[in-house]
Amino acid sequence: MNIKFLGTGGAFDFEKGNAAAIVNVAGKNILIDCGFSTLSTLVEKDVAKDIDYILLTHLHSDHAGSLPALLPYCQHRLDKEVPSIITTTQKYEEEIFSFLTATYENERASFVPISDFPEIGFIETTGQHKPGMTSFAYYFTEDDQLIYFSGDIGNADVAADFLATRNESKITVFHETSPMLDGLAHTSYKEVAEKLETYDTYTYHIAKEKMPADSTLKYVEDYPEFLY
């Protein structure tokens, strides 16, 4: 099992690319998020052909913006089966379907329930990034290893509470963060450091140049083993 990021930045960290990653687990390549810059990166890195399924943390444009273009790209340019979208709840499937309706890509999309994937789990974080917005964190397990991917969220409690219940021998955490101490939509860097200090934690959805000098966090962008 491994994870590699296609981009590590927030919505406007254009030089870093939208935060998105591909997890290989149980022989499947799962694309997590597909923001407005993600498709061009998939093409540049020549990995769009390898995607088996798609997971979305939430439907902001920096996490789902190029999904309507990825589906026909796979079919018409790559001549491959369109990757199915893994969904967590019926409500979320309906929201994604509605999101794709304006571009008529709802007709091309197919959905498969997350219950079909015993190696993938989710934690609902609805309302904890933006009030009322459906969102999820995901985790992946294989060979006594766990990878946790937070999605956008305004606290580190969800990750800390969940991980405290796990007993895998190797736990790797990928958590979004913010340089702000009082932000509501993203997690403060100090909170990530404090509440997830006992785990092998890496931060994303941020350009490290924007972080305060006292930050002790590890940034995904500094670790080639996590990058395409």
Phi first, then psi, for residue 76 (nearest 5°) are -95, -35
pLDDT tens per residue, range 175-209: 999 998 887 899 999 999 999 999 999 999 999 99
Integer CA distances (angstroms), 104 to 64, 69, 175, in order: 15, 11, 33
Q: How far apart are CA 123 and CA 113, in angstroms?
A: 14
- Are the C-beta atoms of residues 176 and 192 closer than 8 Å to each other? no
Q: How confident is the model at residue 28 (pLDDT cuts 50, 70, 90)?
A: very high
Tokens 């509470």, residue located: 161
User: What's residue 190's pLDDT?
Assistant: 96
